[in-house]
Amino acid sequence: MLHHARCTDDAESEMKLRSLLFVPGDSERKFIKALGCGADALILDLEDAVAPTQKEMARAQVAAWLSENNASNCALFVRINPLDTGMTTADLSAVVKPGLNGLLIPKANGAHDVAAIAEQLNTLEVEKGMAHGTVKIAVVATETPLAMFHLGSYTPPHSRLIALTWGAEDLAAAIGATANKEPDGSWTFPYQVARTQCLFAASAAGIAPIETLYADFRDVSGLERDCRRSRRDGFTGRLAIHPDQIETINVCFAPSPEDIVEAQMIVDAFAAQPDVGTLGLNGKMYDIPHLKAARKTLTAAGVTK
């Protein structure tokens, strides 16, 4: 029997999604280790991390973890198997229960897949005595060629949809690519497109854009550089494959003290002059887009004003 565990230092009313760590659904040892790593969310994986012969056992294991850790301060997600596998209904029946915060939907082809999952959630939440809408949905939105043409379908977003992320490996396999990285480690052009379109789709829907995995978990400096680039571009969090990546991700996607000070200065200045659309501060000009960005920074930092 596992004990209730704390994954973050403080409870928050809103789900924080800076760092989301994958945990194989059939490894209790990795789950226990993950609980103490500081991730904002754990993604208990029933899909790629679990062999076909272990799916049933993994479902039961994940269901038990959810029951035993439903007081955890980190969010608990489950990555279910794709809709076209015939395993989705069994996955949902097992894991939709108190303690589950969200689902990660892999290989989604568009918003119609979200609607199909949500319809099942509506029924299961009633059966399990859960409030309607308790279980949120995040989507891996770029894993099939068809998905690339349906990214705009997530706007307006379903009420359960809170995040989009992207992936390159399944997409590469689907289109027959021999590689998806340049010799220097950067993404080749098709996957730069997938990344960018995911970012735009999430932003258009007003939900969280989550950066994909950084595969080399031993390369801390490379991860840090890549995270800072991702945050610069507009991503608000990142998937992780190893607990050792969590600290770096959390630091990189949290506003720095300097960011917070500057954002507060901008918000205060516009509040003092509500009738202006542009103003000067410390030799720089700021307008309404800067104000919107400053408000987002303060929200990410947990500052409300």
pLDDT score, position 47 = 97
List pLDDT tens digits, range 80-139. 999 999 999 999 999 999 999 999 999 999 999 999 999 999 999 999 999 999 999 999
pLDDT score, position 101 = 97
Which is higher by pLDDT, 20 or 268? 20
Q: Mean pLDDT throughout 205-215?
A: 97
| 97 residue type, one letter | K
Question: Could you tell me which of 214, 213, 232 has the C-alpha nearest to residue 223?
Answer: 214
| Fold of the CATH domain 19-254 | TIM Barrel (3.20.20)
Beta-bridged to residue 75, according to DSSP, are 41
Query: In which band, very low, low, confident or very high, does the pLDDT at 304 lie, cut at 50, 70 and 90?
Result: low
List pLDDT tens digits, range 137-189. 999 999 999 999 999 999 999 999 999 999 999 999 999 999 999 999 999 99
- The conformational region for residue 50 under phi > 0 = left, psi -120 to 50 = alpha, else beta, is beta
Burial per residue of 74-102, b for 16 or more beta-carbon CB atoms within 10 angstroms, e otherwise:
bbbbbbbbbbeeebbebbbebbbbebbbb
What are the domain boundaries of the chain? 19-254, 258-300
Which is higher by pLDDT, 289 or 42? 42
